Structure 1
Amino acid sequence: MERKAIGIDLGMVYSSVAVFQHGKVEVIPNEQSTRRTPSYVAFTNNERLIGDAAKNQAALNPTNTIFDAQRLLGRKFDDPSVQVDMRSWPFKVINDNGKPKFQVEYKRKIKCFTLEEIISMILAKMKDIAEAYVGEQISEAVITVPAYFNYSQCQAIKDACVFVGLNGLYIISGSTAAGLGYGFDKKFPIARNILVFDLGVVILMYQF
């Protein structure tokens, strides 16, 4: 039987997962029947929550609810932009030999998590959503990231994939993925230029 690979749009605020089956791409709904899942991870005295359940903790349990994690990708703790972001976050980020880590209280103990670990938890959630939908185990994925991501940032995403047993086949920009999707089922007699306009929650990007 042919193995399925999934596509994950790893967003700063929301993430989505899709699969190609029955001759088309299907964006998969989560447990709340929505096709986007908050990129939030929350820790309580009893459990770890990801997605909508985690976002619901933001007001009740702000110091242990992680969001905007991608802002730290490829950055050192003393990076000026990290210091600015930290002032607006309710959760704690600590300095671990120059590398930022998230410090939370989980099951009544102080725990520290790397950025890759937090991202891997979000990826695991998207993987679980896909597996429940297609009814089989998924081991390969294509991940979309912002166009401005550099090599080290993309490598961090690949490392996060390894944590959850996903083979990151490709790490590509969201605008590139949109362009490929636009032309996937079309035939053009001559070359054509298109403009991809990505109006995100946090960042506005366009690519020609």
Structure 2
Amino acid sequence: MRSGGAFSDEEIQLLRGLPAVSNVTRDRITYSDTFRQVCTIRYLAGESPTKIFREAGLPPELVGYKRIERSVARWKDAAIKSVSGSDTMTDGEIIAQLAARYKRALATRRSLEDIANTATEPKPAATAASNDVHPLSLGLFDGDTAGIIIRQQARRIDELERDVVRLRNKLDKEVGPNPASAEA
């Protein structure tokens, strides 16, 4: 993006193909969580934002120096605020906490991918017996990870329940209330 101009179709395609980019439009780039986390940690460790972006396939001549500068500053501020007690911690301690958080997030993602892969793989008849142990009961997750999964599922259930209410209200407006649902 040169001189504030919009990205061309070719540039958009190039950017979309990068692991560091989760989405791109004519005038906006959304970076992946992993890239933002790694970039912030490397920046706090003293690396140049321009170097980090270049290594990720995001040359500043394309992305824009100002965009890089503003993004990294925003991510750094958010990361530091997210570390409790950061106002009294050294940069090294903040980096260590962020790196530990990133490792936990990466381990969680891998565990979830393993479970998803296990769930989609067909089971041979010999192992499909009723005494199989579900992967979640093997203690794959620490308490933090299990808590995250439970919160995500609870949030999804809440969304679905709100959708059901919204659809019932819409149906009631279109065809009138259902006497059976009034009894429930």
The structure whose residues are more often helix, as a share, is 2
Greater RCO (CA < 8 Å, at least 6 residues apart): 1
Normalising by structure 2, what TM-score? 0.24
TM-score by length of 1: 0.23
Larger Rg: 2
More strand per residue? 1
